[in-house]
Amino acid sequence: MPRSDSDVTDVVVVGAGFTGIYMTHKLRELGFSVLGIERAAGVGGTWYWNRYPGLRCDVESLDYSYSFDDDIQQEWEWTEKFPAQPDILKYLEFVANKLSVNELFRFNTEVTGAAWDERSASWTIDVSPGDSVRARFVVWGTGILSTPKIPDIPGMETFGGELLTTATWPHSPVSFAGKRVAVLGTGSSGIQVIPIAAESAEHLFVLQRTPSFSLPAHNKPLTPERIAEVKNDYATYRANARASGLGCVTESVGKSFAELGEEQARAELEKTYAYGSPMRFASTMTDIPVDPESNRFTSEFAKAKIRERVGDDALAEKLLPNHYITTRRLCIDTNYYETFRRENVTLVDLREEPLVRLTPTGFETSAGSYDVDMFVLATGFDAVTGTLTRLNIEGRDGLKLADKWGESPACYLGVAVAGFPNMFVATGPASPAPLSNVVVSIEIHVEWIARMLNDLREQGIHVFEPTEAAEQEWVAHTNDITDQTLMRFSDSWYVGSNVSGKPRVQMVYLGGVAPYESALLDVADDNYRGFTLTK
């Protein structure tokens, strides 16, 4: 039976992470009826699921937080320079309570698909178990890192020990004490859990295929003076972050390698290295992401630091990355390289001895077998598009998002998709979100989406959809920018190459957060240029 129009919500927002919390609040404020849907039991998004020991954000807490409500930013007290996962989760619960958005959400409810109905100009969103809701608009706030990538390792089902994934860590405490533990993966997640596991494991095997660049976080408690310094003029601090390339204040000298010269460049790198922040380090010189010489100098600086920290040249050699620095995620750590000095830690270099299979008692490489009690997958995510391509999302004329993005993840302005009317993808492909302080990128998207919905309502417009031409133009623009950077040479989740069968396409807008927001606002000011708008 078709439902009556009163069953149709104005906007369904999927996901209760940073995006969903703010989006539902903002839309309710504007007088829209809103329904949030979230598969977890509570808010938090990626910070709800990722709970492995050692997890911290690599953006500083005073930056990695909402700016839209001064009461919230003044009231909440961060305690450490880099926030730990439990603190971020508590923060999001605090914000959700303060804004009373929990009442807008259906928790423990998984979206399985969504279909556009041309006749009623609405979406039917299928939710488990066996229910559906209708909405005029859908906002996917499902995030960029929400679907773990589980590698297809032969024999995984035969492993008799504890098999854990960092991205879906158990909610009850996990003990490494006295166990023989293997961690597969040395990206941001692996690099954080490895030093913690090493502290109590009987033995830890670090299975590394591709080394990352990592810097010491120099995490520390926040002093009352530092908190006051920022909070006394938070508005200016936030405005500077939003006007920057990375959505973060970096205090860069703003000069290229050639302008600084080697001696000054080294001094500046020492400064940002000592500060401890990937964004500051990456911004030490303006041309690190684009100029091979500047990048090589920075890479050599970082490699020398790794050698010092490892304290064993032969071992350090195996831990040294060979990609252009900053073209894959630049990690931060606490004691990562020092961990390899421990007697109970062994680096298993999978480039020398590839992983063959898991066995009932451990794992096997081409060089032999290892007995372990626990095997931890820190193998990353099917990032940016992986969550939505797993859902059955059907747009105009039966077009499936999985088919469209299976060929190439095209997205207009990183926020809307041709063939999928009345649908927004917050932090979608070709937005700056993955390489920015993502909270700033999210605020930009939420505010822009809210403005668009409000503007369309005022104009009596019921259906919007980006044109293919506008979408292709944005994709081409994103690719043109990438082609000017060294990132075109590197494989990573930014380009989808970590997942087999996924198209290798740049999924990050590298033009910077501030220029990106200008482009969005320009489109809005021009009455949503590139969209067809139907009354």
Q: Which residues bind ligand NAP (CB under 6 A)?
A: 56-58, 145, 151, 184-190, 192, 209-210, 329, 350, 355, 378-381, 493, 498
Scan for tokens 């421990």, then name that residue.
342
Which of 472, 497 has the CB closer to ligand NAP?
497
- Bridge-based pairing of strands 180-184 and 162-165 is unpaired
CA 85 – CA 104 distance, rounded (Å): 24
Measured N-to-C along each axis, helices 85-98 and 18-29 cross at an angle, to the nearest 10 degrees, of 10
Scan for tokens 């066995």, then name that residue.
359
CB of 164 to ligand NAP, least distance (A): 13
The 8 Å CB, 24+ separation contacts for 415-418 are 415/445, 415/448, 415/449, 415/520, 416/464, 416/465, 416/466, 416/531, 417/466, 417/471, 418/465, 418/466, 418/467, 418/468, 418/470, 418/471
Measured N-to-C along each axis, helices 18-29 and 438-458 cross at an angle, to the nearest 10 degrees, of 30
CB of 448 to ligand NAP, least distance (A): 23
Which of 36, 44 has the CB closer to ligand NAP?
44
Which of 294, 379 has the CB closer to ligand NAP?
379
- Bridge-based pairing of strands 368-371 and 362-365 is antiparallel
Which of 25, 56 has the CB closer to ligand NAP?
56
CB of 323 to ligand NAP, least distance (A): 10
CB of 64 to ligand NAP, least distance (A): 9
CB of 9 to ligand NAP, least distance (A): 32
Q: Give residue number: closest CB to ligand NAP.
A: 187
For residue 271, with 0-12 CB atoms within 10 Å meaning exposed, 13-18 middle and 19 or more buried, which class applies?
A: middle
CB of 381 to ligand NAP, least distance (A): 6
Which of 35, 439 has the CB closer to ligand NAP?
439
Q: Residues 110, 427, 512, CA angle at the centre, nearest 5°?
A: 165
CB of 65 to ligand NAP, least distance (A): 14
Distances in Å between the alpha carbon of 110 and those of 49, 105, 142, 185?
Answer: 14, 12, 11, 29
Which of 185, 395 has the CB closer to ligand NAP?
185
Which of 209, 477 has the CB closer to ligand NAP?
209
CB of 494 to ligand NAP, least distance (A): 8
CA 318 – CA 180 distance, rounded (Å): 22
CB of 394 to ligand NAP, least distance (A): 29
CB of 433 to ligand NAP, least distance (A): 10
Tell me if 299 sits within 8 A of 307, measured CB to CB: no
CB of 66 to ligand NAP, least distance (A): 17
Distances in Å between the alpha carbon of 218 and those of 168, 230, 519?
Answer: 27, 19, 36
Which of 189, 485 has the CB closer to ligand NAP?
189
Which of 184, 453 has the CB closer to ligand NAP?
184
Tell me if 94 sits within 8 A of 76, measured CB to CB: yes
Which of 419, 512 has the CB closer to ligand NAP?
512
Which of 381, 412 has the CB closer to ligand NAP?
381
Q: Which two tokens stand for residue 88?
A: 């971020």
Distances in Å between the alpha carbon of 312 and those of 273, 315, 337?
Answer: 21, 5, 11
User: Residue 345 phi/psi, 5° resolution?
Assistant: -125, 130
The candidate with the shortest Cα–Cα distance to 449, out of 54, 19, 6, is 19
CB of 534 to ligand NAP, least distance (A): 38
Which of 141, 496 has the CB closer to ligand NAP?
496
Per the rule left: phi > 0, alpha: psi between -120 and 50, beta: everything else, 527 is left
Tell me if 398 sits within 8 A of 231, measured CB to CB: no
